[in-house]
Amino acid sequence: MNKQNIALNIEGLTKVYKNGVEAIKGVDLQVHEGDFFALLGPNGAGKSTTIGVISSLVNKTKGKVEVFGCNIDTDLEAAKAHLGLVPQEFNFSQFETLSQILVNQAGYYGVPRAEAHKRADKYLAQLGLLEKKDKQARTLSGGMKRRLMIARALMHEPKLLILDEPTAGVDIELRRSMWDFLRQINEQGVTIILTTHYLEEAELLCKNIAIIDSGRIVENTTIKALLAKLDKETFILDLKMPASPVTLEGYKFTMTDDHTVEVEVAKSQGLNAVFSALTTQGNTVLSMRNKANRLEELFVGLLEQGRGE
């Protein structure tokens, strides 16, 4: 296998804190160049610790971590040059201007000042912040600060970008514009690893996924293969006519009001019989949606399985 095609290689990664807590328990993980990869898990699962080790902010107990073939133990500077990190917390000076924050960040990586100013303007423009370039960071909204963090992480043009909950607390409209930007840079060749609590985000953006729980990887596959494991889904159907008692033989269903029915559909069943039954009963389905995000249902089920619940 050509290691240069592996953006991130983790083997036997373990982290034990001084108090004896084992935050990461022998994690093996590979992310290929060009991937858009989701790392999911509940709070305390080990996501942030894993990211901390990759970015050299947390010392590992044992194991191997390589970023584009550069071992963080023996070639840390080269590994860091390939890596951009967008942490959860805002960790820039609130009293510097946006332009100063970005240009100074580029300077840490030896980017010439004239080039740094060009890059700063480019990323601020792409993220809708160019008109704020001379404003202090403290004047920005939370969503704008999130976008500034992404711009800062890209200033040395890393090949691997890790985003830890980048859209937490961001309204849906802004979240979607950030998704568009991340898709764009991924299409341009940047490998992206995303942690998120918005499972819809992982389903829409990512190709591959790993789920971590209690410091262990419990699932590592493609989004498509994971969703194929979903054996049932609950749909909400909005009906045209006020429903007299609906009969859907073979389906578990609930009328939530006169115009709305929730139907649980097994993978083997499909929805055609539901539509046919409603048509026969003189009704029409105006719209349909999933009650819960499909990935969320799987996520909860996998965690319950792993814990033997």
pLDDT in tens, 182-205: 999 999 999 999 998 777 788 889
pTM of the model: 0.80
pLDDT band at 1 (very low <50, low <70, confident <90, very high): very low
β-pairing, 216-222 vs 208-213, is antiparallel
Same CATH topology for 3-227 and 229-306?
Answer: no
Per-residue tokens: 195: 């942690």
Architecture in CATH for domain 3-227: 3-Layer(aba) Sandwich (3.40)
- Whole-angstrom Cα distance, residue 273 to residue 278? 9
The domain locations on the chain are 3-227, 229-306
Supply the Cα-derived Rg of the chain in whole angstroms. Answer: 23
CA-to-CA distance for 41 and 299, rounded, in angstroms? 8
CA distance 20 to 22: 6
Q: Residue 212, by phi and psi: left (phi above 0), alpha (psi -120 to 50) or beta?
A: beta
* CB 194, CB 168: distance < 8 Å: no
User: What's the fold here for domain 229-306?
Assistant: Alpha-Beta Plaits (3.30.70)
Sign, Cα dihedral of 174, 175, 180, 182: positive
For 39-48, 162-171, 183-192, 267-276, which range has the lowest pLDDT when averaged over its residues? 267-276
Q: Each residue of 235-292: pLDDT tens digit? A: 888 888 776 666 777 778 888 888 888 888 776 677 778 888 888 888 888 887 767 6
DSSP letter, residue 217:
E
